[in-house]
Amino acid sequence: MYFVKKALALIIGSIFLSLGINLFLVPHKILDGGTVGIGLIANYLWGFNTGLIIIILSIPIFIFAWFHYRNYFYNSLHGMILSAFFIDFLSPVNHLIEIEAIYSAILGGIFVGIGMGLLLHFQTSTGGTDFIAQFLYARTGINVGIYILLIDSVVIILGGLLLSSETFYLSIITLLFIGLTTTLLTSRKGHVVAYE
């Protein structure tokens, strides 16, 4: 029964994440952090499929994880593949909703946060730069959240420089709501997510 719940959470979480990106972030060129953010930058600048870029960027990370953090590899591979697939599969919906950019940033953050929260609740994720943060935490003992924040900040600043200052500010709002929503979903009933 647990595996059925986990499979459903993977699918529903990936769909929420993908809808958040396609319905709310893409229309206003707003970014998420990590490999998703880099995939979105490639999409906005050159029209590449975001999900495909996520997979390409994740390949060296997952190869490294296979040799050094096998649990992480197994826990995150399905989440990365499913979310990348749904991001590209649901990309046609990006013209369905037209709302002001600020509300799009907030709603996009909430949707992506729900998706991430569902994945993390079942100890899986979309992989990518989160693994780099986990690896650095294991080596240095510095909180993994600090590394995730630093990596996401680099992506957002890069996006702001390559795209626009509006992209930069709206992306900060989105990241804030992703963080808040994910925290609410994963801290419920004392639930703590950790990779061994």
What pLDDT sits at residue 185? 86
Report how far residue 177's alpha carbon sits from residue 117's, in angstroms, rounded to the nearest whole number.
Answer: 12
Residue 192, pLDDT above cutoff 70: no
Confidence band for 188, pLDDT divided at 50, 70 and 90: low
Residue 187, pLDDT above cutoff 90: no
Segment 36-48, tens digit of pLDDT: 999 999 999 999 9
Which residues lie closer than 8 Å to 141 by C-beta, 6 or more apart?
A: none
Q: Is the pTM of this model over 0.75?
A: yes
Report how far residue 133's alpha carbon sits from residue 47's, in angstroms, rounded to the nearest whole number.
Answer: 28
Residue 31, pLDDT above cutoff 80: yes
Segment 125-181, tens digit of pLDDT: 887 887 888 788 878 988 877 888 899 999 999 999 999 999 999 999 999 999 999
